[in-house]
Amino acid sequence: MTGTRTGWGVGALSLALYPFGAGAMVVNLYFAGLIGSWLGWDVMSPNMALIGGAVLGIPATWAFARHIRGMMDRIDAETDAENG
């Protein structure tokens, strides 16, 4: 079974992980806005952080899903090699 991919694809993983990725981006943006206030910038509103997190969560979640899929492929290849 070398060369075949089993399990979830990148798209399915992205959809399943998107709420977590978007939520992480919302928190990161909001706290970055608070740190920016120390530099004299305006504080980012929670609504702006929510919108920005929803948008930035898409590429962040896609990249994370690709990373997870790569690890799944690597462990599948190692398992296949062990089982001969």
Model confidence pLDDT, tens digit, residues 3-43: 566 789 999 999 999 999 999 999 999 999 999 999 999 99
Whether 3 maps to a domain, the answer reads: no
Q: Looking at the predicted structure, is the pLDDT value of residue 2 above 60?
A: no
pLDDT, residue 16, reads 97
pTM: 0.81
Query: How many folded domains does the chain comprise?
Result: 1
Whether 62 maps to a domain, the answer reads: yes
Residue 33 CA to residue 58 CA, distance in Å, equals 20
Whether 29 maps to a domain, the answer reads: yes
Please name the residues in contact with 71: beta carbons below 8 A apart, sequence gap of 6 or more.
Answer: none
Burial (CB < 10 A; 0-12, 13-18, 19+), residue 44, is middle
Nearest to residue 44, comparing CAs of 22, 26, 24?
26
Token pair for residue 67?
A: 């990373």
Residue 81 CA to residue 65 CA, distance in Å, equals 24
